[in-house]
Chains A and B, each alone.
Chain A
Amino acid sequence: MHKTYIENTPPGPRAQADRDAIPGWGADLDRANRPACPMERTPPRLPHGHPGELAAQPHTVEVLTSTERPGITPVFGTTLPPRGLSGVLRRLAFKASENDVRRWMLLLLADRIDVVEGLLEDLMHGHIPNVPGEMGAAAELRHNRPAVLRKLLVLAALAGAAALLARTMRHSTGGHRLLR
C-alpha cells in the first residue's frame, strides 16, 4: 500500500532565524538598501559623475581583437603579445568568433604549446627552471608530509619494479644467447 501524500504546506515565510544572534540580520531586507536592485540603473551612481570622452590608447604592440568588434577598444592590455608557434595558433583562433568553439579549443592548444616554448626559452637563456619549487614543493613538504611520503613510496616501488623487470629481461636475453 502506498502512502497518500497531499502537499499542503502553507505559503509564506516558514523559517525563523534567531535574529538577535546574527549581526546585521535584515539590514538589507528593504530592497532600497540593495545596491544592485534593480540590476540595471541609469544614470550610474559614479562618485565623480560621467568621466567624459575616452581618449584612445596608443597602439604599440600587437593586440588580437575579437571578430565581434569593429576595432580595438580605447583601453587595452599590452602584456605578452602573441609569439612563436603559440602566437600563430592564437592569430588563427582570433579569426573565429566567440560563438565558435574552435576559437577556444585552439586557444587552449596554444596555451599548452606556450608552456613548452616557455621551457625552451628558459633553457636558451641558461636558466634551468626549479619545477618542484614552482609547484610549491616546500608547502607540500611542510603541510602534507604523509602525501609526500606516499608519493615517494610509490615512486620507489615503481623504480624497484622497473629495475627488477630490466634485470629479468637482461637475464632472459642472455639465456636465449646461450641456447643459440
Chain B
Amino acid sequence: MLAMNYRGPYRVRVAHKAEPEIEHPGDAIVRVTRSCICGSDLHLYHGLVPDTRVGTTFGHEFTGVVEAVGPAVQHLKPGDHVLVPFNIFCGTCFFCQKELYSNCHNTNPEATAVGGIYGYSHTTGGYDGGQAEYVRVPMADVGPTVIPPDMHVEDAVLLTDALPTGYQAAEMGDIEEGDTVVVFGAGPVGIFAAKSAWLMGAGRVIVVDHVEYRLEFVRNYAQCETVDFKQVGDMAMHLKKITDGLGPYVCIDAVGCEAAGSFAQTLTGVRLKMQAGAATVLHWCINSVRKGGNVSIVGVYGPTFNAVPIGNAVNKGLTLRMNQASVKRHLPRLIEHIQAGRIRPRDIITHRFAMEDIPDAYHLFSSKLDHCIKPVIVPRGAPQ
C-alpha cells in the first residue's frame, strides 16, 4: 500500500509499505477515506518530538471503512464507515474508568505520561498513522464511531481531533456567561476553540496570531475580534488595555511549542532545544489573564521542561487546566451541534491533496503558503 514515510526533519515521502495486519484480537483494519495533516504533525515534521523514527507514517486524524476485524470485536463489522479518535484507549484502565481516555494506561508501553496516539512517534506507542491507504486500529470496539448517515465525511474527519480539542480547550476554560475569552493561535484548533467559546456563552472572544490571512479567516468563521501580535508592543499590557484593565477571564493556548513572538523563547526552545519548545504563549496566558482567571492549555509541548512564570500564576490565583482531548466523550454533543447547524467543521478545509502529493502538502501547511488553514489527504477511490 502507499503510505507517508518520514525521512527526517522537513523530509517526507510517499512509499510502498506492507499492509497492516490484525495483531490483537480487538484490532480492526481500516481503509482510509480521509486523513488530515494536523498542526501537531508539524512538530514531528520539524523533528521536535523525541523518538520519531525514520520510516514512521504520521496521521492521527482519519476516517475509513472497516476492512477486517479481529475475533474479539463485537460491535464493528466490515463495511462500517468510521471516524477514529486520535487517542488509542482501552476503556478499562484506571484512567479510562474516569473518562480520561487520552490518559489511557494500557496502550502505550513506551511512556506513562501520555496514552497511545496514531502515527505520533514511539513516545506515544509506536503505532502507524492514517496518512496511508490502510491503518491498524486497536481497541476497535472502544475507539471508532460509525459516521452518522447524514454526516459529510469531511465533517467527520474533523471530529477525530481538531474540533474536540478546540471544544475541550473552551470547556477547560470553565467559561461563564459574558466572559471575555482570549484564544492564542488562529490555526484549526484555535478557530474551533473560538467557536466553542460562543457555544458556552462567552461575551467577547478575541483571537491572537500574526498571520494575517488566518486572522481574517477566524474573524469571518468565528465572528470574533482579532489581535495581530506583531502590531502590539506588549501582549499582556495590550490585552489588559482592551479588557477594562483587569485582563480576560480565560486564556487558551492553542499554539504550543513552536510559538513565534519571542526571540529568546524561539532560540532556547526551538533552535537550541534547551527547553521543550518556546513557552511564549504560556507566558502571555499567565501574564494576561485576570487574577483568579483560568488558563487552558491544549498546545503541544515536549516532555522535558519549559521556562514559565509560575510564580505569577500562584500570586494571581490562577487555575491552569490542560490535557490532550478525550475525543470519544465529546462526540455525541459535537455531532448534535453539527446536525443542528451550529457549526460546520469542513468549512475550514482549504486544501485537498492526493496521497502522492503529501510532501508538498506538508511543506505548504508548514510554511503557511497559499492561505492554507487545513489540508486533507484524499486517497484514491475514496468517496468525494
The interface of chain A, by Cβ under 8 A from chain B, is 7, 9, 12-17, 21-29, 33-37, 39-48, 50-55, 57-58, 60, 63-66, 68-69, 72-80, 86, 90, 94, 98, 101, 104-105, 107-108, 110-112, 114-115, 117-119, 129-131, 133-140, 142-144
Chain B: residues with Cβ within 8 Å of the partner, total of 105
A77 and B57 CA atoms in complex are apart in Å by 12
CB distance from B90 to the nearest CB of A (A): 6
A115 and B106 CA atoms in complex are apart in Å by 30
Contacts of B109 in A (CB 8 A): 63-66, 69, 72-73, 76
A94 and B100 CA atoms in complex are apart in Å by 26
Q: Is the CB of B329 within 8 A of A36?
A: yes
CB distance from B92 to the nearest CB of A (A): 6
A13 and B332 CA atoms in complex are apart in Å by 30
Q: Is the CB of A76 within 8 A of B125?
A: yes
Q: Is the CB of B98 within 8 A of A75?
A: no
Give the 9 A-B residue pairs with the shortest CB-CB distance, closest first. A136-B363, A13-B178, A15-B203, A24-B342, A77-B126, A115-B8, A77-B127, A139-B360, A29-B201
A72 and B125 CA atoms in complex are apart in Å by 11
Contacts of B201 in A (CB 8 A): 25-26, 28-29
A57 and B116 CA atoms in complex are apart in Å by 15
Q: Is the CB of A17 within 8 A of B202?
A: yes
A159 and B299 CA atoms in complex are apart in Å by 42
Q: Which of B90, B168, B204 contacts A54 (CB 8 A)?
A: B90
A143 and B337 CA atoms in complex are apart in Å by 36
Q: Which of B7, B91, B101, B128 contacts A79 (CB 8 A)?
A: B128
Give B371's nearest chain A residue, CB to CB: A143
Q: Is the CB of A44 within 8 A of B7?
A: no
Chosen A-B contacts, 29 in total, with CB atoms closer than 8 Å, are: A13-B203, A14-B180, A14-B203, A24-B199, A24-B342, A24-B343, A25-B201, A35-B329, A39-B172, A41-B99, A48-B142, A54-B92, A58-B24, A63-B110, A64-B109, A64-B110, A66-B110, A66-B112, A73-B105, A73-B106, A75-B24, A77-B127, A79-B53, A111-B50, A111-B52, A115-B9, A117-B54, A136-B362, A142-B360
The interface of chain B, by Cβ under 8 A from chain A, is 7-13, 23-26, 47, 50-57, 72, 74-75, 88, 90-92, 96-101, 105-113, 116, 122-123, 125-128, 138-139, 141-142, 145, 168, 171-172, 174, 176-180, 196, 198-205, 223, 244-246, 273, 302-305, 321, 323, 326, 328-330, 332-333, 337, 340-343, 357, 359-364, 366-367, 369-370
CB distance from B125 to the nearest CB of A (A): 5
Q: A48-B74, A48-B142, A133-B13 are in contact. List 7 more A-B contacts (CB 8 A).
A: A26-B200, A27-B337, A33-B333, A48-B141, A68-B112, A77-B126, A80-B122
A74 and B323 CA atoms in complex are apart in Å by 23
Q: Is the CB of B330 within 8 A of A13?
A: no
Knowing A36-B330, A51-B90, A57-B23 are in contact, say whether A107-B112 is a contact too (CB < 8 A).
no
Q: Is the CB of A129 within 8 A of B7?
A: yes
Contacts of B323 in A (CB 8 A): 39
Q: Is the CB of B107 within 8 A of A75?
A: yes
Q: Is the CB of B139 within 8 A of A111?
A: no
Interface centre among A29, A37, A40, A44 (most CB of B within 10 A): A44
CB distance from A49 to the nearest CB of B (A): 9
CB distance from B62 to the nearest CB of A (A): 16
Q: Which of B11, B113, B361, B367 contacts A131 (CB 8 A)?
A: B11
Contacts of A26 in B (CB 8 A): 177, 198-201
Q: Which of B122, B204, B245, B332 contacts A77 (CB 8 A)?
A: B122
Contacts of B97 in A (CB 8 A): 42-44
Q: Which of A44, A53, A117 contacts B96 (CB 8 A)?
A: A44
Interface centre among A26, A34, A68, A133 (most CB of B within 10 A): A34
Give B51's nearest chain A residue, CB to CB: A107
Give B343's nearest chain A residue, CB to CB: A24
